[in-house]
Amino acid sequence: MRGSVDGLGSSAPIGTTLPAVFADDDLAQRFVAGLDEVLAPILNVLDCLDAYFGPALAPLDFSQWLGSWVGAEIDGTEPERRLRAAVAAAAYLHRIRGTRRGLSEAVRLAFGVEPEISESGGAAWSARPFAPVPGRPRPRLHVHLRLPVPTTTDEHRLDTLVAAARPAHMPYTVQVTALERIPET
């Protein structure tokens, strides 16, 4: 939350800009020093405004708010590093939304793990008319995610994410399982 910061000096103190008659007036100087203390965080934000629009440099709470501006697929529970990456990638993900790559990237940014995606679709080109249509006649999409320690909310989160990032006409299923550990010898 933006607010007052103890000890933060103003980048434009008001006391130095007062007319000469108030330069030696202790009451006037103390009064405007109080205003400086209130205005210093605002002036500091304005001085650094360009950094607020880059998720790598913006304060964490502002990055979360910025994520809502750009439509990032975040729910507020992700670690800071993944939150910032999701906000930074939001515009790119909107360009590839509805594609296998877009879905895979959205899931990877949200969970930090590459999903296994199987689908029924396909694309082909043919010089002959009435060539066989690729894929299966009934559309389907299945997203399988293997997590080191899955929680009960992971499947719901994955379902919500896939519903938003999949092609609109495609029925889908999701599955979250524990990552299989290879026994040590």
Instruction: Give me the residue spans of the domains in the chain.
Output: 23-51, 99-124+135-180
Q: Any residues with CB less than 8 A from the CB of 156 and at least 6 apart, and which?
A: none
Rounded to 5 degrees, φ, ψ at 127 are -80, -20
Q: How confident is the model at residue 173, as a pLDDT? A: 95
Burial 92-103 (b: 16+ CB within 10 A, else e): ebeeebeeeebb
Averages of pLDDT over each 10 residues, the chain, 185 residues: 71 89 90 88 86 87 89 85 91 90 92 91 79 79 93 91 88 91 67
Q: Any residues with CB less than 8 A from the CB of 119 and at least 6 apart, and which?
A: 100, 139, 140, 141, 142, 170
- CATH number for domain 99-124+135-180, candidates 2.60.40, 3.40.50, 3.30.70, 3.30.1450: 3.30.70
Q: How confident is the model at residue 1, as a pLDDT? A: 52
Note the pLDDT tens digit of each residue in 113-165: 999 999 887 777 788 888 877 777 788 999 999 999 898 889 999 999 999 88
Q: How confident is the model at residue 126, as a pLDDT? A: 80
Q: What span, in angstroms and rounded, lies between the C-alpha atoms of 76 and 21?
A: 53
- Beta strand pairing call for 116-119 and 172-178: unpaired
